[in-house]
Chains A and B, each alone.
Chain A
Amino acid sequence: MTASTATETGAAIVKLEDVHLSFGQTEVLKGIDLTINKGDAVSIIGPSGSGKSTILRCINALVTPQSGKITVAGTRVDQLTKESERIQLRKRVGIVFQQYNLFPHLTVLDNIVLAPTKILGADRTATVKLARELLEKVRLSEKADAYPGQLSGGQQQRVAIARALAMKPELVLFDEVTSALDPETVGEVLWVIRDLIRDGMTSILVTHEMRFAEEISDTVVFTENGRIVDHGSPQQIFHTTDNPRIRQFVGGLSGGGRGAVRDGEGI
């Protein structure tokens, strides 16, 4: 705990060393080494089934690897044996899912307020105030009393981001957060994430939005078949890499219209 507060910008907040993970017979991660510094935005790209989402799930202990070291904000995640210890970690690491997963029986405001008040024991009045600020940040102030079912996919995903932020996490994991959205609403979600990264939130994104990854990332990681093929600056990965596989993947995707970031669109 104390180690995490001591981490300053530039110090490693996430460190994976030789992480191996299998689901039954299927080897998903075959030795992942990755260091992420506080304040960084890291995009993980690569073909489907390459283990991108599993890396995120290792970081907040939703899955436990068979071997390897994982250190997140001073906590040795791979050594956590009790569920209660994993819960302590998850309170400090936000995650946003592809399918938003809002709680359908609660209003937007209550979706955001629930976890801080019930799990962290935060004061309700203060949390409601924080929730309203966050809703303003994701440009949904007027939807505070709506139910998730009344919102579009893009709006729901922005609420999900606000919900994760309300826990005041030290880093946020974004697991293909725009993959389930229709192209028109992708822009508004990316806009929110871009803002967040500019504010200095440590963010790890699994994404298929190549141009967005190029624009906002400090580091881009390319994974395939459970291994990190290469990592580096966006310039390196998207433009100057010698690796033919990455060139093929990046080139093949940027040809489509889907990867584009449309500034301000839909907002």
Chain B
Amino acid sequence: MSMAVTPKTTSTSSRVLRYIGFVAMPLIVIVWSLIDLSLGRELVEWIPYLASGFSMNILITICAVTLGTTAGVTLGLMQLAPFWFVRLPAQIYVQIFRNAPALVLIFATTYIFPFEIVLFGNYLPFPDWVKAVIGLAILSSAYIAEITRGAVLSIPTTQWEATKGLGFSRLQALRYVILPQCVRRSLPPWMNVASSMAMGTSLASLVGVHELMHAATDASTAVRRLDFTIIAYVVVMAAFFTLCYPIARLTRRLEQRFNAG
């Protein structure tokens, strides 16, 4: 998260970051594996297992961010509604969940929801990873609601006035004039949320979801070698870096482009 939040770093420090992430970490893994070939053999054996775990992280991230964005934009607009019975529930929701730690939400959704649901007499399994998705989606929806609300409020009132003068209704003004301008403004903070959700997926290992952290723990328990454990977690770090760093880079580029434009 902090990586993406940092407003502007010099190109030198970002080059150093990229160097550590994309070169140094894989280099450690490769060199160490070549020095001790037995370690390398173990690693090659476990890489597919780790990769299957990592695909779960990607899946959870995509689902949680998609769900969280849809719900968050809706909640953000609800917070601005002229009617209190629309506004108030959204405000309460956002205030509660925006301040909840991700781990608490993941534990809560895991234990609140049943392990299977009955739908028209059919028993459908309710897997743990879906519960983790819901937990992270709740958190991201609260953040994105605030981002949306802030973006709408940041549009000058003269824009609303102009639409009113042309005969737009409030919803038409939102749809055609206000929200399109919000997309530009809220894309960088939205990316921040996306990358922090990507990192948050590792917490799902604590409720037994088979994702990368869980896979690494499995692997190190099975192999029972200290050097393997270290290498396995270096691989985990490198994997999360490749997932989050492009998001952070893209954010920074978008920020610069919007500032320039």
Q: Which residues of B contact A119 (CB under 8 A)?
A: 166-168, 172
B169 within 8 A of A: yes
Interface size on B, residues (CB 8 A): 18
Tell me the chain A residues, 42-95 only, with Cβ under 8 Å from chain B: 60, 62, 83-84, 87-88, 90-91, 94-95
The answer to whether B169 touches A95 (Cβ under 8 A) is: no
B42 within 8 A of A: no
Q: Which residues of B contact A115 (CB under 8 A)?
A: 166-168
Task: Say how far A112's CB is from chain B's closest CB, in angstroms.
Answer: 10
The answer to whether B176 touches A90 (Cβ under 8 A) is: no
Q: A104-B181, A105-B180, A118-B176 are in contact. Are A97 and B165 (CB under 8 A)?
A: yes
What's the Cα separation between A167 and B158 when bound, in Å? 19
Q: Which residues of A contact B172 (CB under 8 A)?
A: 118-119
A236 within 8 A of B: no
The answer to whether A114 touches B176 (Cβ under 8 A) is: yes
Q: Tell me the number of A-to-B contacts counted with CB atoms below 8 Å.
A: 56
Q: A104-B181, A105-B181, A114-B176 are in contact. Are A97 and B168 (CB under 8 A)?
A: no
Interface size on A, residues (CB 8 A): 26
A28 within 8 A of B: no
The answer to whether B180 touches A167 (Cβ under 8 A) is: no
The answer to whether B167 touches A90 (Cβ under 8 A) is: yes
Q: Give B152-174 as 1s and 0s: 1 = Cβ < 8 Å from A's Cβ atoms.
A: 00000011011011111110100
Identify 29 residue pairs between A and B in the complex whose beta-carbon atoms are under 8 Å apart, listed by A's number. Answer: A62-B165, A83-B170, A84-B169, A87-B168, A87-B169, A88-B167, A90-B166, A90-B167, A95-B165, A97-B161, A99-B158, A101-B158, A101-B161, A102-B162, A103-B159, A103-B162, A104-B181, A105-B181, A114-B176, A114-B177, A118-B172, A118-B176, A119-B166, A119-B167, A119-B168, A120-B167, A149-B261, A164-B165, A167-B167
Q: Which 9 A-B pairs have CB atoms at the shortest separation, nearest pair first?
A: A101-B162, A91-B167, A95-B165, A115-B166, A90-B167, A101-B158, A105-B181, A87-B167, A105-B180
Measured CB to CB, the residues of B under 8 A from A are 158-159, 161-162, 164-170, 172, 176-177, 180-181, 184, 261
